[in-house]
Structure 1
Amino acid sequence: MKIIHETRLLFWRKMLETLREPVWIFTGLSTPLLYLILFAPLLKGLHSPVFGSSSEVLDVFVPGILVLMAFGAGMGSGWEIIGELQNGVTERFRVTPVSRFSLLMGPVLRDTVMFLVPAMLILAIAAVFGFPIHPAGLFLLLILLALLTAVISAASNSLGMILKNIGSLAAIVTGMQLPLTLLAGVLLPLSFGPKWLQLIAHFNPLFYDVEAARVLANGTLLASRVYEAFLIMIILTALVLCWSTRVYRKAIS
């Protein structure tokens, strides 16, 4: 199909851009590694039944880090789009018959791959530290988080198209990142917090991803948290991709 061929070409174009600047790959990988090596050992000292042996600490911590990686992997696309708008790259696409959906999916798929590859490396390193590997659960976990990356990437691209200003985009993206991740219990389970905090968290889609990630990492596939997370992410992915495609069609018409 024409749209698949276009998406593949545009995906490879974005991948080549990324591979030409390996410093960003190194930077994106170093942050979760530092969390794993320098922060995770601190959790062993917490007096809570949630944390016991080192492997139990990693059961809680590693899935949260993977969610953080999935969230962060798609955030930078908006900056690239603004750069292409300012450099006239997007303007050149106006005179081509390429599908606007393919233009969107090229960077989205690139961001998804740039999450999946480091995520598998982090899992391999975490296994050395004692993190238990449950292949089926981790496979579903990576699929779930790939959907999250796709949502964030598409939203970031669309905001870049709409705002056309790096400062405005940075204010929105960074302003949303902290409350969303904190209310998801990425680093520490929200069961540690008060009831009102746990209640607010249920209005955050990222919270369901974190909860399901910890269940799946433990090897449990058939759980209500897993069903809820997949349902929410599939609906959210469909809505965001539809909205983003409309933004692209309006911006590159």
Structure 2
Amino acid sequence: MQHTLTLMTSRRPNAWRGYFHRPHQPGRMFAFGDLIFVPAGLSIYGSGPGGAQTMVECAFPPGASKALEMFEEGWEDRDLARCGDLRSDRIADAVRRLGQEALEPGFGSDILVDALTTALPIDLARHFQEVVRRSAPVKGGLAPHQLRTIEDYVREWPVGGVSVGGLAELVGLSRGHFMRAFKQSAGKTVHGFVEAVRLDQAKTLLADGDMPLKQIAARLGFANPASFSLAFRRLTGDTPGRYRSVRKGLT
């Protein structure tokens, strides 16, 4: 069996749940994200809302890349849960570009595809090394599972928006303690973190679908499309419309 890296392009994050199957070991259920890595030798089982699904999938034979050697050892449930919900713009963008080249190959496609498939294993290894580093307990900070809970909550963007007080209550801490612990664990303020997550969601919605900017702005808690466009341009240097056009290869 091969390592497989899959980018789902037709559904919302956390709409599917499932588990990795290992012989003679019970699998732990968790929510799958849009970017999923299945190590060689493992199977994945999941369920969701059904319907037609579109995806881009890349396969790497065991031993094909030195960077993938770290994925050819034993796995714990915690590590597999990370595989089921990779959160990396760099990796997602690379897989998305491979899908675009497969559908509409252009000048130098073979060179571009080779470069992307060579870089992806390295990006995967770097991503997991960074995730493991960030997951190490920080004295006086939040536990890794608390950070994950907060990120999942912000990504769903509940009705009424996100507030510091609401996030503090979510993990059972006072507002002041939460703000100090969050900064110590995440290395940024709550506001900076929320902006980063919303930007990530905006990029996904712009690149993977045709949802109007007005709907994207409303879904991400912006008062109107103008405020969404202003925030997006301030953080990326580009307008939402141009970002969508470039990602879809329309310019």
- Establish whether TM, by shorter chain, passes 0.5: no
The structure whose residues are more often strand, as a share, is 2
Structure number with greater CO (CA < 8 Å, separation at least 6) is 1
The structure whose residues are more often helix, as a share, is 1
TM-score w.r.t. length of structure 1: 0.30
